[in-house]
Amino acid sequence: MLSRGQQKTLSLLMLMALASIHKKLLNETPAFMVDDISSELDSAHRYNLIEQIIDFGGQLLLTAIDENDLKIATSTPISKFVLQEGEVLVL
């Protein structure tokens, strides 16, 4: 039995393993899309998983209810968007 956080971590790591195989076989880096990264994950696990995905390369799209859940220390350029009243705004 795994907790919900452990399930989420395991599923993300399995997807990263599949992406690694895809990258090796097709020489293409898949994009990662993770909805509500902060649910079931504490800040340390969330930070670690985000950093691993960024180190893998390619695009990473994350959603969160609280902007503070997406704060990471990286030299990689980051674009932020917010959905407000049905419109997407670039921050």
| pLDDT tens-place string over residues 78-89 | 788 888 889 998
Interatomic CA distance for residues 23 and 21, integer angstroms: 5
- C-beta atoms surrounding 63 within 10 Å: 14
Task: Kindly report, residue by residue over 51-60, the tens digit of the pLDDT.
Answer: 888 888 878 8
Please state, in angstroms and as integers, the Cα–Cα distance from residue 23 to each residue in 10, 28, 59, 90, following that order: 20, 5, 13, 30
- The model scores a pTM over 0.85: no
Compute the distance between CA of residue 87 and CA of residue 25 in angstroms, rounded to an integer. Answer: 38
